[in-house]
Chains A and B, each alone.
Chain A
Amino acid sequence: MKKELKLTVNGQPYELYVKPKTLLVQVLRDHLGLTGSKRGCNDSSCGACTVVLNGMAVKSCSILALQADGAEVLTVEGLARGTELRPIQKAFLDHGAFQCGFCTSGMLMASTALLLENPKPTKEQIKEGIDGNICRCTGYNSIIRAVTAVVKGEYKEGK
């Protein structure tokens, strides 16, 4: 039997009816069409499904959507302001912080949550912040460099 689910995703409120077994990542991708969050390993190993839920990074493949009832979710689609990319996105581009791009949305969201909690992380803290995210193109160093550039204030928020 379907149940009512209220979610705010990227500032937009939604009211849906979902089967209890529906995962948060399925609601985002299949119900709302927000396919930026990837369903990779499906068992919270890879981090490609990482979203920011009530201000903290979580793996949306391992959370029942109904358990997020009433929550505010930020996905990679909610980062840019119109066509203006956010600093973390610009830094990823400039530093080549991806190759195939599959891990990128998760890396961006893990980094975003890290910077929300701690705007001045050390290199060690940045590593810890993306520890739950796997990049198989071995892009960790460039990702760390990208986050570091944001921490150093090399990218300004758009107007």
Chain B
Amino acid sequence: MLKDFEYFAPKTLKEALALLDKYQDECKVIGGGQSLLILMRQGLVAPQYLISIKGLSELSYIKDAKEGLKIGALTTHRAIEKSPVIQKKFSVLAEMERRLASIQTRNWGTIGGNLCHGEPAGDPAPVLMALNATLTTTSLRGERNMAVGDFSRDYFEVALEPGELLTEIQVPAAPPHTGAAYTKFNIIESDLATVGVAVSVTLGAGDGVCQDVRIALGAVAPTPIRAKKAEAVLKGKKITDNLLKEAGEVASTEAEPISDIVASEEYRRELVRVLVARVGKEAFARAKA
């Protein structure tokens, strides 16, 4: 059963920030709320004040500029999945969204809400980390910018200060010869990742040498993590199947998974080993194309 709370539905960002500033720790922000309501039902979160920002249309947008993509925090998963510009230029984001939960959930849930929930098995964070995305938080005190990877702090814990709202996600335009891919392993298609792997590869012009690579893993640590040692295996080298296999092996040692009802620690490490090589190969193929 849900506990009672007081409810506000501000009409503007300014109003929302004023409420957040007033109620600080005693309030919780609700976007779509599909994750938050589960925690509230379990009694894990019991806010006195709930501030619904779902109606703030000013935070629902997808803007494509020269420097990259800007996504308003309240853009729904479904809007990202269906966006022609994202499908064309940042297809890995659309592919990730298409596998996030079910259509119903994607219709109502927002990208910002997903990130703020801090679920280590969430799909968007590792993909955004591989794409070197940043985000902006806003409060009455002003704005802060940080890498998506620095936003996650711990299980269900993010870097938001009291009074702060996540307002925008920025995905930089990829350099030429860049390819990115994501996959997750899960038993039920609409479920969270047992393990999720996102890879972005940038190749040198013509020589096929890996100039830059970012590997991000979901559901293998308290937060999504970069597999930096595995990245070092690939960086500066010509990518081959053997090298990708080695990167997978290294990544599986970097992961710190837990055993739970979904999978054992060993099984998750094995998934990391296999999926890093597989997703890396796909990203490499896309970078060459």
Contacts and interface: CB of A to CB of B under 8 A. Distances in A.
Contact of A110 (B5, B6, B104, B189): B104
Interface size, B (range):
20 to 34
Contacts of A29: none
Contacts of B38: 43-44, 62
B37 interface: yes
A29 B256 CA distance: 45
A1 B50 CA distance: 13
Contacts of B50: 20, 64
Contact of A67 (B33, B78, B190): B33
Nearest to A69: B9
Interface in B170-225: 189-190
A8 interface: no
A67 B52 contact: yes
Interface stretch (A30-38, A86-94, A127-135): A127-135
A131 B105 CA distance: 11
B189 A59 contact: no
A123 interface: no
A50 interface: yes
Interface string A9-33: 0000000000111010000000000
Contact of B34 (A59, A66, A114): A59
Interface residues of A, number: 30
B7 interface: yes
Interface in A142-156: none
Given A67-B30, A69-B9, A132 B52 contact: no
B37 A110 contact: no
Contact of B6 (A1, A56, A132): A1
A66 B52 CA distance: 9
Contacts of B104: 44, 47, 50, 57-59, 110, 132
Contacts, number: 81
B30 A132 contact: no
A31 to B, nearest CB: 16
A63 interface: yes
Given A20-B7, A56-B78, A47 B102 contact: yes
A44 to B, nearest CB: 5
A123 to B, nearest CB: 15
B107 A56 contact: yes
Given A19-B4, A20-B6, A43-B41, A62 B107 contact: no
8 contacts: A23-B37, A57-B104, A59-B104, A62-B38, A66-B7, A67-B9, A67-B55, A132-B102
Interface of A: 1, 3, 19-21, 23, 42-44, 47, 50, 53, 56-59, 62-64, 66-67, 69, 110, 113-114, 128-129, 131-133
Given A3-B7, A62-B105, A128-B103, 13 more contacts: A19-B4, A20-B5, A44-B34, A44-B104, A50-B104, A56-B78, A62-B33, A62-B37, A64-B37, A64-B52, A131-B102, A131-B189, A132-B105
In order of increasing CB-CB distance, the 5 nearest A-B pairs are A132-B102, A20-B7, A21-B2, A56-B107, A62-B34
